[in-house]
């Protein structure tokens, strides 16, 4: 590309593109505190939109807490299931191992919505419909293909001699996992946790299908509902304040854990 473009055109083009990509993000942050007659922040710069959002219906803390609960449950469940399964698939031979691994990966081939309709019925049968716990179970399901795959290759990358020396020292298979391997696969665990966090925090369609009690809405569903339920003029300022609240944890995590994010990509890309 730089042979095609000269030095100056290269920088002009790339910078222009970068500005286009950053502009909407900067605009939201600015718009959420800017004065506008049609928003809760009428005169001067300030946090009026955030105050309105804070007090909307059940209140921002409730929705934040709902999101945090779903997200942490999903991350915890995903980690437990995928670490154990990754260990099993990487280190043990047992009947049906390859079929079971393929079954987990096959989740990817089934569209999200195809499962949401029957899951709505099933969760109703066991009393988990309209609950954050039921939602976390569904979100975990869609994390499993990536997470189990990721943990399996993480365990496989650890030399077997490490297990064997620990076994000689008297560790059982669980001791090997807990005392030795967990430390060795730490980067994989962070990658799996990060993806589970981002996907659970941001998911929209699963809560839309499964949660109908507005007090239990996670943040994205609450913000999306807020804008259509506000009577009279639509307050776009409050929506943008909500976008900032939702985006901040993602951007922070992304900036601090960029390395682990890219790691997840490489493994996924190599698979193809």
Output the smallest distance, CB 6 to other proteins, in A.
Answer: 12
Output the smallest distance, CB 50 to other proteins, in A.
Answer: 15
Is the torsion defined by CA of 229, 233, 236, 237 positive or negative?
A: negative
Q: Which CB contacts under 8 angstroms, 24+ apart, belong to 256-259?
A: 257/190, 257/194
The dihedral formed by the CA atoms of 217, 196, 85 and 171, expressed in degrees to the nearest 10: -110
Output the smallest distance, CB 215 to other proteins, in A.
Answer: 19
- For other proteins, give the closer residue by CB, 159 or 255: 255
- For other proteins, give the closer residue by CB, 4 or 43: 4
Output the smallest distance, CB 61 to other proteins, in A.
Answer: 19
Give dist(CA 144, CA 203) in Å, integer: 15
- For other proteins, give the closer residue by CB, 61 or 255: 255
- For other proteins, give the closer residue by CB, 180 or 221: 221
C-alpha separations of 111 from 60, 107, 159 in Å = 31, 8, 37
């Amino acid at each position: 590309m730089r042979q095609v473009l000269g030095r100056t055109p290269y920088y002009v083009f790339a910078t222009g593109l970068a500005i286009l990509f950053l502009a909407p993000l900067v605009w939201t942050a600015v718009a959420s505190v800017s004065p506008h007659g049609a928003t809760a922040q009428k005169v001067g710069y300030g946090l009026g939109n955030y105050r309105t959002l804070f007090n909307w219906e059940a209140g921002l803390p409730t929705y934040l807490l709902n999101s945090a609960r779903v997200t942490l449950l999903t991350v915890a469940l995903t980690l437990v299931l995928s670490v154990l399964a990754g260990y099993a698939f990487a280190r043990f031979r047992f009947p049906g191992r390859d079929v079971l691994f393929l079954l987990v990966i096959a989740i990817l081939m089934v569209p999200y919505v195809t499962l949401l309709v029957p899951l709505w019925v099933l969760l109703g049968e066991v009393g988990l419909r309209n609950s954050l716990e039921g939602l976390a179970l569904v979100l975990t399901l869609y994390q499993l293909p990536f997470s189990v795959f990721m943990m399996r290759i993480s365990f496989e990358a650890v030399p077997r001699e490490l297990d064997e020396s620990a076994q000689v020292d008297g560790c059982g298979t669980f001791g090997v996992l807990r005392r030795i391997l967990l430390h060795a696969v730490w980067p994989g665990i962070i990658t799996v946790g990060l993806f589970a966090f981002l996907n659970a925090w941001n998911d929209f369609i699963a809560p839309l299908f499964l949660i109908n009690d507005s007090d239990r809405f996670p943040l994205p569903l609450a913000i999306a509902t807020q804008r259509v339920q506000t009577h009279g003029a639509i307050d776009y300022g409050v929506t943008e304040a909500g976008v900032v609240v939702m985006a901040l944890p993602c951007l922070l995590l992304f900036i601090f854990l960029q390395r682990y994010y890219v790691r997840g990509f490489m493994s996924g890309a190599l698979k193809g």
